[in-house]
Structure 1
Amino acid sequence: MNPIALEQIIKQALLEDIGAGDLTGEAIFSEGHQSTGRLIAKQPLILAGTEVFRKVFQQLDNRIELVWNCREGDSAAPGTVLASLRGPTRALLAGERVALNFLQHLTGIATATKDYVRLCSGTGTVIVDTRKTTPGLRMLEKYAVTVGGGKNHRYALDAMVMIKDNHSKAAGGILPAVQAVRRRISPFIKIEVEVECLEQVKEALTAAADVIMLDNMDLDTVKQAVALIDGSALIEVSGNITEERVAALAGAGVDVISSGALTHSVRAADISLKFE
């Protein structure tokens, strides 16, 4: 992660949540009041975002002591004490919500990703994310995917060429879209094409696409597409990716399964911070 970008993300989150000051905490506790707390897993999880969690409190008060009992990427069972904290009560309370929001969200992504990765075990199929991320949090969310054992698809539009359905429709078809791109870009840049039916698979093969993404196809159609492509291009599957479908799709011989749900609709992990 870019440390400068991370500092800015955390700063903005704290400004949003604290505003001009914590009315409750500052009214009840003196500046010198100290507290200790424990960070507890309430569900099975893959821990992600420990450095983000630490930096939230670091920005508020560098006197806060944080000791992790688990490392980034570790699995933890319900009831596990993930970490202990000690420091000024005002700062602990002011940072609690933001720190937990980041940790729960990133851990949720890593946990869901790990589940998908396990379902592909032994097949060679890779789980990747998409650009369906929370605005402003893409760097963190894509990082959490890697903690869960997944890989990152393109980070932004300037990372690679990906001709989607709207590109093809506006260009008059897959072949003219690919030809237009090839006239413009370096020969060292790969071209991915999104297809929705077997006829479009054939058109993408005629255009010599490097990657063919099978979008929202049922399993039987995916198998037919894999047979048609027959190693001529890297095969990605996307759309309606669920835990129930992942193992079957991986078994069909696809190279990559991409899922926007890993970042745009994942459930936050259940983690609590309890004072002692």
Structure 2
Amino acid sequence: MIQLDAAHFSNLTSAVQRTGSLTGGAVRGLPNDVVIDGLHGVQSYGSAIAEAQKEFQLGRARTALERVRQLETSFSSSVGQWNGTVNSIISGAKQGRQAVPAAKLNEVRNAQTRMQVLVGPATKAFRDLISALEFEISLEGHQGGEDKDADNLAADDGIPTIPEPFTKGYHVVTQLHLERGGDNKARVVPQFEPKQFYLLVGDESARVVRVDELNQSSLAVYDFELEDNTTLEGKQLIAQLRRGVWAISREH
């Protein structure tokens, strides 16, 4: 969970480059010789993403994040321009300002749908990589604190008390820690698991949550104290790990 690796960069490269051409081909024969095809300039993103990956591998996560954010902004701008062109053709045909045959107008609408299918994964890949980089930077911040030389980055103040109604039938299994590996990166050990119950230590008491979904930079949980679904984001999750997170299990 929340582990940045080479796949984040390669997934982004593949997803972005797929938007460079429309599946089924370009739409031609439109007014003013407009051609609706893939996004322009995205083929050059591969080298820029590779540079961001190199920065990360050299330990410069903040520089990598800045580069990826710049690429995301550029990509969003390209998508906006593409949509603007397509919407202009569609609205012009509807208002009678441009003579576009019905069959050709359907091609334009289909192209818009096809592009949405291509842009969605690319947008998600950008967000996944940015979230993972932000999480890495958060870990670096905690690694640079007073306990920088400690192998265990989580506090251990003793086993907390399990609250009602979990007092009977549940017991504490193990505490989760942020541990630094041989590559000097911090990881959650043991990893969070879906459907597992966890005890989160607070300032005054502890509460129990159930992990429903593991995401790249967050946990979707059900909080039994709040009686509602909630999300633990990257920075919030790190802070909680330092306060204390314990896996609990039913007694057999």
TM-score, with normalisation over the residues of structure 2?
A: 0.31
Report which of the two structures shows the higher radius of gyration computed on alpha carbons: 2
Identify the structure with bigger relative contact order (alpha carbons < 8 Å, sequence gap 6+): 1
TM-score, with normalisation over the residues of structure 1?
A: 0.29
